[in-house]
Chains A and B, each alone.
Chain A
């Protein structure tokens, strides 16, 4: 009898090539590697200098995203020569080594973590890697996926990676979400419970009725932020929702291979008695729209809540870091988050730049927000070219533009500011991205993480807004 295993363990075992007895590290076979514009040029230089070949060029995908300009779709729109050179270098490197590349002018271009699931490059049961830390996103389809920093050259040359075994945690979200509570609010609440390092060394499996009830896009939002709790990765067992999402996508298996794949995917969910190193359970019904106040994604409170008082924090290190965060964010202990004035809004990123996110934001503008105009600069950047095209077919861009929002070209944009879209020093931004670190959206920027609906409502009022007030016809 096979020992009962978690989904993570099943995928790990299925990709184990060999184990090094000295180091205890395992050599794993990699199904897909994604290269972005920031993280791959050292690897290509290394391959060329040492004369290595790329072992499986078809399993590798180049997707420029960090430097893509939101003001326009061409190389000429990019902020400066250095970044322009890196974006074109990615394309040239992919061409030289025979890798698939979704360049700026390709209608499928966009943020790698949006594009790969959309294209069916991400599939259940696969082991997928990318230099970027938010690769955990792809686990939403039941893949094992994480960011790997500087090891892309090794993977290109060997199609394998050495890894130490990881621990396994399960976070179960039971119950039903109340209206106005988005997937983003669920993951922010989870990170708040785990703390910014609570997932360290773990792969987190999200389970429970509230997760099962989510669409694949919502699950992508949840898994995306696993890293903000310090976890290596997040994953969700594939089910009928996943299979329906994957079917027919360009890189998904077809015909007999499809049937084979589906049969395999059904064996993936964790066995009923699988053991987890840690377990956490939350009740979705108790959750509210969340807004962050500090400089980690764990620093969140319900939108109706108040900035916590460091004086109540018994741990001295933690107290000091809270004080530093309040100072940086320009906040006072005990202040209400709701109705605090905001300078700008960003809607987009690999966390919340998908079509359902844009629909949720647009619904606020056309619903109770109808007739209102954005009171502050608000930038909406679709996560990919296909998301942008779909949104424009649905007329969402018109809704945003008519309400005074700026409608941008796809890319990471203001999530990290490396394309030149930044938040000025001391300015406050409600953002649907995933990181509120010091200086993340630009030197001195003050980021408040929130859902797309919260961000859209805040743009219309110029204040941190409880989207449920909009829904109940308030304001």
Chain B
């Protein structure tokens, strides 16, 4: 996984509330492999394209100024709904590295971290101000500093955010959760020995 430390990139604002994982990645793409070269086009597919397959010019990612965006600024209750990991994979494959929102669906939040995307929670007024700046000056950049836990907005103002230590170290090191758990291999092995001694019947031979 690509480590995440400091990122300065164009940010795309999206005002809608309650963007669930079905809007992020419609269910009919659930069976697609992450190596599918078309994967980036599945992100927000039904919002980006109209029924006849042409681009919906109103949708933020179709605006020329935001095409190279690596940061997505949403609103409240982002990524709720079905637990599909593919929603985070779609953000990753599209090229996003950071999603900012007021709050996230739990599973989506974890799936972001697992896929190397930094989810940032900021208060409602702050996310509204960020989106406002980005709407006013399309193509503006934000700077997200994970070690310092700050977002610097288009006007140079800094906003602090919270993140749990486990997700933070995963992202900074570009380590997967598996890597971090395997660092405790000695504890796991010691457990397994104790467990095998008392619970031998539970093993599979």
Contact = CB atoms under 8 A, between A and B. Distances in A.
Interface string A141-168: 0000000011001100111101000000
B181 A160 contact: yes
Interface string B177-205: 11001101001100110010001111011
Interface string B110-121: 110010000000
Given A17-B187, A42-B89, A264-B201, A52 B178 contact: yes
Given A18-B184, A23-B166, A123-B202, A45 B176 contact: no
B11 interface: no
Interface residues of A, number: 43
A23 B164 contact: yes
B85 A58 contact: no
B86 interface: yes
Provide the main secondary structure of the chain B interface.
helix
Contact of A58 (B30, B34, B164, B204): B204
Interface string B44-86: 0000000000000000000000000000000000000001111
B85 A17 contact: no
B69 to A, nearest CB: 25
Q: Which range contains the number of B residues in contact with the other chain?
A: 20 to 34
Contact of A260 (B84, B107, B200): B200
Interface stretch (A205-213, A251-259, A302-310, A359-367): A251-259
Contacts of B188: 17, 27, 29, 158-160
Contacts of B192: 29, 159
A59 interface: yes
Nearest to A55: B188
Nearest to A133: B83
A38 B30 CA distance: 9
Given A18-B184, A18-B187, A154-B181, A264 B199 contact: yes
Contact of B201 (A20, A29, A86, A258): A258
B136 interface: no
A83 B31 contact: yes
B35 A149 contact: no
A55 to B, nearest CB: 8
Contact of B202 (A23, A27, A52, A126): A126
Interface in A36-51: 38, 41-42, 45-46, 50
Interface in B143-173: 164-166
Contacts of B176: 46, 50
A162 B200 contact: no
B137 interface: no
B178 A29 contact: no
Contacts of A17: 184, 187-188, 191
Interface in B87-119: 89, 107, 110-111, 114
Nearest to A47: B178
A125 B111 contact: no
Given A17-B188, A251-B204, A158 B107 contact: no
B107 to A, nearest CB: 6
Contacts, number: 90
A20 B166 contact: yes
A438 to B, nearest CB: 12
Contacts of A317: none
B191 A42 contact: no
A150 B204 contact: no
A150 B181 contact: no
A96 interface: no
A42 B204 contact: no
A5 B73 CA distance: 46
Given A45-B35, A158-B181, A160-B188, A150 B201 contact: no
Contacts of B83: 149-150
A386 B57 CA distance: 55
A50 B178 contact: yes
A125 B205 CA distance: 18
A82 interface: yes
Interface string B22-34: 0000000011011
B111 A150 contact: yes
B177 A154 contact: yes
Nearest to B85: A150
> Which of B114, B182, B187, B201 has the largest number of chain A CB atoms within 10 A?
B201
B182 A158 contact: yes
Nearest to A260: B201
Contact of A253 (B86, B89, B191, B201): B201
A228 interface: no
Contacts of B166: 20, 22-23, 25
Contact of A261 (B30, B178, B201): B201
Leading 10 A-B pairs by shortest Cβ distance? A150-B85, A261-B201, A253-B201, A149-B83, A257-B201, A22-B165, A58-B204, A17-B191, A157-B178, A158-B181
26 contacts: A17-B187, A23-B166, A29-B188, A29-B192, A29-B195, A31-B202, A32-B204, A42-B34, A42-B89, A45-B33, A45-B35, A50-B178, A123-B202, A150-B85, A150-B111, A150-B114, A154-B181, A157-B182, A158-B182, A159-B188, A162-B177, A253-B202, A257-B200, A257-B201, A261-B201, A264-B201
Given A41-B33, A52-B178, A251-B204, 12 more contacts: A20-B166, A25-B166, A27-B184, A29-B188, A42-B86, A56-B204, A82-B31, A150-B114, A157-B181, A158-B188, A160-B181, A260-B200
